[in-house]
């Protein structure tokens, strides 16, 4: 019973507090308010219990300082494309290595996100890069503040015999996988950066998701989840757009998202497609914040980008392993989806 209650509290935190965080960001006039909701949903989906105070402080500092540091470095290196690509490759290597350890995975995700988005935005315009870094910093602090609100409203329930996180794998294997993943990412990143294809950044995020999962799960399962998550996020965003068209009030929009959340979020913790639903929940807020009335076409674009990203990640990783003469490590037994 305690396990069911703990899961119910986590569902309520994700479903009901995420719209509140988004509403607070809009009310405060934060640029790109969907970033706060996206980060908050990502954190709460992975946190059944409140993090220690020290971890929250470190996370808040990282969210506030890392975007500004990335934007500054990217602005300096924007005149030297080769140095920019090398810097991004080094950051991605460390990001993939951190994601292989459960305790440091959130930091790895943040590094990966900043390494993909901020150099691309800075390459388009230094003003855009600076504005985006400031938006990430403000929305990141709001997301961390939302964690305290969520656990205050819906406290975590102690579960007897909670399973311990799996131990991290061999350090040499983690380093090798991170190096291969960074090598796979760099050609795609360089191509998009050279032609200023910022609208296709979804490809890079799909590649990263596939590469992180390939060492633990089947490629077809991971790829199917990535495409299915885009379809689910698009369906939820379309439903929200329809409701908002008939009930054009900000409060009504938040109530609609809370209602949709109560219907969808439980499926992120149980069921056949829980992995795809967990990926789709943060994507819904990105679609709502960026689609601007073209939700359906944006969803189709994202599905196409997801398919391209999956195919490229699997092919490029196999090619690099073959060129280096490395054998792929045997996959571990399926673990509970994140």
Place of tokens 């050279």: 194
Mean pLDDT of 95-100: 88
CA–CA dist 49, 158 (Å, integer)? 8
- Residue linked to tokens 């040499």: 172
Summarize pLDDT for 193-249 with one digit per residue, the tens. 887 777 677 788 878 877 887 655 555 666 677 777 777 877 777 777 777 777 777
pLDDT band at 160 (very low <50, low <70, confident <90, very high): low
Could you tell me the pLDDT band of residue 335, with boundaries at 50, 70 and 90?
very low
Q: What is the pLDDT of residue 296?
A: 67
Take residue 242 and report the two structure tokens written for it.
Answer: 């329809």
pTM metric for this prediction: 0.76
Residue 2: strand, helix, or coil: helix
For residues 72-87, give the mean pLDDT. Answer: 80
Q: Which long-range contacts (CB under 8 A, 24 or more apart) does 161-166 make?
A: 162/48, 165/102, 165/103, 166/102, 166/335
Q: What pLDDT does 278 receive?
A: 84
What integer pLDDT is reported at residue 90 of this predicted model? 92
**CA pair distance 234, 298, nearest whole angstrom:** 8
Structure tokens belonging to residue 277: 């639903």
**Torsion of the alpha carbons at 144, 150, 152 and 157, rounded to the nearest 10:** -120
Please determine, for residue 162, whether its predicted confidence score (pLDDT) is greater than 60: no
Instruction: Say what the pLDDT of residue 73 is.
Output: 79
Eight-state DSSP code of residue 319: H
Q: What is the mean pLDDT of residues 128-153?
A: 82
What's the pLDDT band for 1 if we cut at 50, 70, 90? Answer: very low
Cα–Cα dist 199/91, whole Å: 22
Residue-by-residue DSSP string for 32-53? STHHHHHHHHHHHHH-SSPPPH
pLDDT digits (tens, 9 = 90+) for 35-45: 888 889 888 88
pLDDT at residue 80, rounded to an integer? 79
Within its chain, how far is the Cα of 245 from the centroid? 28
Contacts of 45 (CB under 8 A, 6+ apart): 14, 268, 278, 281, 282, 338
- Of 133-137, 268-272, 313-317, which gets the smallest average pLDDT? 133-137
Place of tokens 């792929």: 328
What pLDDT, on a 0 to 100 scale, did the predictor assign at position 219? 58
- DSSP per-residue string spanning 244-298: HHHS--HHHHHHHHHHHHHHHGGGGTSSTTHHHHHHHHHHHHHHHHH-TT-HHHH
* 156 pLDDT higher than 50: yes
Q: What is the DSSP string of 63-106?
A: HHHHHHHHHHHHHHHTT-HHHHHHHHHHHHHHHHHHHTSGGGHH
Given the structure tokens 């009335």, which residue do they identify? Answer: 293
Distance CA 22, CA 175 (A): 37
User: CA-CA distance, 319 to 309, in Å (whole number)?
Assistant: 15
Residue 115: closest CA among 181, 49, 161: 181
Give the pLDDT confidence of 244-260 residue by residue, as tens digits: 777 777 777 788 888 88
């Amino acid at each position: 019973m305690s396990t069911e209650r703990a899961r119910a509290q986590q569902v309520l935190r994700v479903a009901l507090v995420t719209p509140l965080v988004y509403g607070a960001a809009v009310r405060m006039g934060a640029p790109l308010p969907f970033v706060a909701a996206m980060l908050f949903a990502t954190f709460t989906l992975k946190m059944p219990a409140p993090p220690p105070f020290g971890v929250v402080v470190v996370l808040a500092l990282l969210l506030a300082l890392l975007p500004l540091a990335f934007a500054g470095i990217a602005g300096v290196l924007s005149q030297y494309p080769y140095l920019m690509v090398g810097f991004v490759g080094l950051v991605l290597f460390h990001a993939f290595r951190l994601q292989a350890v459960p305790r440091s995975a959130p930091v790895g995700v943040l590094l990966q996100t900043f390494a993909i988005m901020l150099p691309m935005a800075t390459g388009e315009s230094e003003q855009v890069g600076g504005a985006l870094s400031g938006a990430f910093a403000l929305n990141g602090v709001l997301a961390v503040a939302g964690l305290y609100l969520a656990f205050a409203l819906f406290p975590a329930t102690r579960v007897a015999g909670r399973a311990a996180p799996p131990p991290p794998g061999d350090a040499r294997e983690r380093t090798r996988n991170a190096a291969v993943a960074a090598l796979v990412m760099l050609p795609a990143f360089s191509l998009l950066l050279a032609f200023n294809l910022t609208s296709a950044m979804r490809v890079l995020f799909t590649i990263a998701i596939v590469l992180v999962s390939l060492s633990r799960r089947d490629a077809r399962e991971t790829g199917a989840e990535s495409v299915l998550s885009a379809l689910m996020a698009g369906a939820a965003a379309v439903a929200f757009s329809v409701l908002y068209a008939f009930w054009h009030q900000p409060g009504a929009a938040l109530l609609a998202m809370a209602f949709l959340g109560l219907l969808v979020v439980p499926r992120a913790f149980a069921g056949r497609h829980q992995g795809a639903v967990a990926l789709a929940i943060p994507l819904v807020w990105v679609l709502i914040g960026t689609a601007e009335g073209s939700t359906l076409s944006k969803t189709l674009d994202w599905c196409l980008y997801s398919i391209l990203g999956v195919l490229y990640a699997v092919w490029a990783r196999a090619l690099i392993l073959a060129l280096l003469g490395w054998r792929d490590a045997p996959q571990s037994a399926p673990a509970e989806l994140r």
